Chain A
Amino acid sequence: MKASDFSYENPNSLNAALALLANQDGDVQLLAGGQSLMPMMNFRLAAPDTLVDLNGVKELQFIQETETSIEIGAMTRYVQLEQSPLVTQHIPLFAKALPHIAHSAIRNRGTIGGSAALADPAAEMPALLIALGATLNLQSLTGQRSVLADDFFLGLYETTLADGEIIESISIPKLASTDRTGFYELARRHGDYAMAGVAVVDRVVGDLASLRVVFFAISDRPVRDQKMEDLLQRPSANDEQQHLKEAIGQLEFHGDLNADAATKQHLAGVVLNRALKEMET
């Protein structure tokens, strides 16, 4: 099918985009990489009255370094993250995970901000952001606020983004060279949405020292479980596998087109063990 008609706006600054978002009547939608919104429009699952294209807002495309973090503009594309030496050095988890997000033609367009705003429970990026302890910086005409990734994703395609807000950038605390990361996902075909996946970040130094385990594609949102993290931080006992299995059994699983809830529960254990194994080597 084809998209229904809309007014097309192509602002060249964040302020102009914010003004359009706040002042246009009807359903106003932002267009980032279009790799999720365009399919929805072609299927008429989305039929915005006004489309505000962010591709001309160059101030949203950047990867910068501060002493403690990497700052990434919302319109930064997956391919730019893959090719960035700053990202490779300070966020090695991205280098492991990005090749699993769709296919290269999709990664040439899709953006980090679009994936965060969409909040697809099967997507890698929301889980990565939680595992990394990222902060999302949101901008509206009336002000700016910052939200931890832990608090940003509320459910199936649901976030804390309010009407009139745009994700401006995402701050990711740098990983130290002694920190370790793990990533594993099972998909039917390379690049497909996962049947189950997990991201693990083990920060051993600094204020953020902690172990984080975040599953994706198993529920209606990324799933982080404190009990499991505590368990994994204790010196491993003989019955660790049993404890892990019990901890996984207590998570809430939602089936989707790829696998039912019981299969996902089984696969969660598989991906976790494989990610942990990869971290040991």
Chain B
Amino acid sequence: MNQRHSISMTVNGEAITMDVPVRMNLVDFLRNELGLTGSHVGCEHGVCGACTLKIDGEMVRGCLMLAVQADGCTITTIEGFADDPRSDRLQAAFERNNALQCGYCTPGMLASALDYIEAGGSTDRTAIRQHISGNYCRCTGYQSIVDAIAQTIEEGQKS
């Protein structure tokens, strides 16, 4: 048995209609069917945050949703954040602070950080750490990531 469903959705501004196996999760669909390999797959059980993406305006785990559940939804992946000036500033701050090494966690980390910044999050380091507590980074030790997020918020307040 290999059950399939037809789904339609908007991904990074583009309308898409496709036939998908019902058991395929959303992040595998985006990576393998649409070639959007910016969202990463780490743990496949919701713990690492590498697959974090935006669906109908809310951050979710791409590994804990089925592609069929995204029927009719609007999805933004890390590729889609590229046009957002706030995302540009954040990415520059990540680079400046060495807030990435292997880059595996980075797309999910940027997505969570953007969510925090857009919600008006403060530069309080504990609050930042709490917000990104659902995103694992095995390289940086987090310090530089918190620096990058705090600096982006400070820059936003100045401009």
CB–CB A5/B2 < 8 A: yes
On whether A109 and B22 interact (CB within 8 A), knowing A8-B5, A42-B44, A104-B131, the answer reads no
CB–CB B134/A2 < 8 A: no
CB–CB B3/A5 < 8 A: yes
A2, A79, A189: which contacts B58 (Cβ < 8 A)? A79
A38, A51, A99: which contacts B46 (Cβ < 8 A)? A38
Tell me the complex Cα distance, A4–B66, Å: 12
Tell me the complex Cα distance, A6–B61, Å: 21
Tell me the complex Cα distance, A8–B44, Å: 20
Tell me the complex Cα distance, A64–B115, Å: 29
On whether A109 and B64 interact (CB within 8 A), knowing A35-B46, A42-B44, A104-B59, the answer reads yes
CB–CB B58/A5 < 8 A: no
| Chief secondary structure at chain A's binding surface | loop
CB–CB B46/A106 < 8 A: yes
Tell me the complex Cα distance, A199–B13, Å: 45
Q: A109 to chain B: which residues have CB within 8 Å?
A: 60-61, 64-65
CB–CB B134/A106 < 8 A: yes
Least CB distance from B78 to A in Å reads 14
| Chain A, 1-25, CB within 8 A of any chain B CB | 1-8, 10
| Interface presence of A232 (CB below 8 A) | no
Tell me the complex Cα distance, A192–B48, Å: 12
| Interface presence of A269 (CB below 8 A) | no
CB–CB A191/B64 < 8 A: no
| Interface presence of B110 (CB below 8 A) | no
CB–CB B133/A4 < 8 A: no
CB–CB A104/B61 < 8 A: no
Interface flags for A183-199 (1: CB within 8 Å of B; 0: not) read: 00000011110000000
Chain A residue total in the interface (Cβ 8 A): 31
CB–CB A4/B45 < 8 A: no
| Chain B, 60-78, CB within 8 A of any chain A CB | 60-61, 63-66, 68-69
CB–CB A38/B134 < 8 A: no
CB–CB A3/B1 < 8 A: no
Q: B63 to chain A: which residues have CB within 8 Å?
A: 38, 42
CB–CB A39/B129 < 8 A: no
A6, A7, A42, A190: which contacts B130 (Cβ < 8 A)? A190
| Interface presence of A157 (CB below 8 A) | no
Tell me the complex Cα distance, A239–B146, Å: 46
| Interface presence of B152 (CB below 8 A) | no
Tell me the complex Cα distance, A147–B159, Å: 56
Tell me the complex Cα distance, A55–B22, Å: 15
| Interface presence of B125 (CB below 8 A) | no
B28, B46, B69, B130: which contacts A2 (Cβ < 8 A)? B28
Tell me the complex Cα distance, A109–B55, Å: 11
CB–CB A105/B60 < 8 A: yes
* Chain B, Cβ-Cβ closest to A189: B133
Q: A274 to chain B: which residues have CB within 8 Å?
A: none
B3, B5, B25, B130: which contacts A38 (Cβ < 8 A)? B25
Chain A residues within CB distance 8 Å of chain B: 1-8, 10, 34-35, 38-39, 42-43, 51, 53, 55, 79, 99, 102-106, 108-109, 189-192
Chain B residues within CB distance 8 Å of chain A: 1-3, 5, 21-25, 28, 44-46, 49, 52, 58-61, 63-66, 68-69, 112, 115, 129-131, 133-134
Identify the 7 closest CB pairs spanning chains A and B, nearest first: A103-B134, A39-B45, A8-B22, A38-B64, A190-B133, A105-B59, A108-B58
7 A-B contacts (beta carbon < 8 Å): A5-B23, A38-B45, A103-B133, A104-B59, A104-B115, A105-B52, A105-B112
